[in-house]
């Protein structure tokens, strides 16, 4: 990863972090109960990033997903926070492996997709959720786009040839 890609990657990850922090600060008063899940999950995730051992990525993402679920359960308008947290954890396994290793196994998308689709009464509930406080997730999506774009061979303003 060259300097330009690294700076775009860091900018994207920063936007993701700020978006998630704002999202949780807007919706949740107490972050203490989730801290254990986040700390242990982050240790697993850090060990994965250091060693590229796929077996460490799985518990890392699932524990961070459970930590997110403990925060999400306090939010109004979300009936199944555990499904959302675990579903997001499974999807994160696929996404992080794809970004970090440039390839990924498809299996995490099956439980992740099922959990996420069944967690929402697709349509009205999801839109209501986004408009009543889920808007900081737009920062997360923009950050993900920037992070994924940082791995492309072409950067902004570079020719395809």
Domain range for 16 is 3-150
User: Between vectors from CA 84 to CA 82 and to CA 86, what angle results, nearest 5°?
Assistant: 65
Tokens standing for residue 46: 């850090």
157: in domain: no
Q: Cα–Cα distance between 9 and 27 in angstroms, integer?
A: 27
158: in domain: no
pLDDT, mean of each 10-residue run, the chain (161 residues)? 71 74 67 74 82 88 88 71 89 90 86 80 64 77 82 56 44
42: in domain: yes
Give pLDDT, residue 160.
47
77: in domain: yes
Give pLDDT, residue 90.
95
39: in domain: yes
Total domains, the chain: 1
Give pLDDT, residue 132.
76
93: in domain: yes
143: in domain: yes
Give pLDDT, residue 161.
44
CA-based nearest residue to 47, from 33, 61, 32: 61
């Amino acid at each position: 990863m060259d300097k330009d890609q690294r700076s775009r990657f860091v900018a994207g990850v920063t936007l993701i972090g700020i978006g998630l922090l704002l999202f949780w600060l807007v919706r949740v008063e107490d972050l203490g109960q989730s801290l254990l899940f986040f700390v242990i999950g982050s240790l697993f995730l850090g060990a994965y990033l250091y060693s590229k051992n796929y077996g460490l990525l799985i518990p890392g993402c699932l524990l961070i997903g459970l930590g997110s679920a403990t925060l999400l359960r306090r939010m109004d308008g979300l009936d199944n926070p555990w499904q959302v947290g675990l579903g997001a954890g499974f999807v994160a396994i696929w996404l992080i492996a794809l970004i970090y290793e440039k390839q990924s196994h498809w299996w995490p998308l099956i439980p992740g997709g099922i959990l996420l689709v069944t967690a929402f009464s697709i349509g009205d509930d999801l839109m209501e959720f986004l408009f009543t406080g889920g808007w900081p997730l737009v920062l997360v999506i923009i950050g993900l786009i920037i992070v994924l774009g940082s791995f492309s061979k072409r950067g902004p303003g570079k020719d395809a040839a």
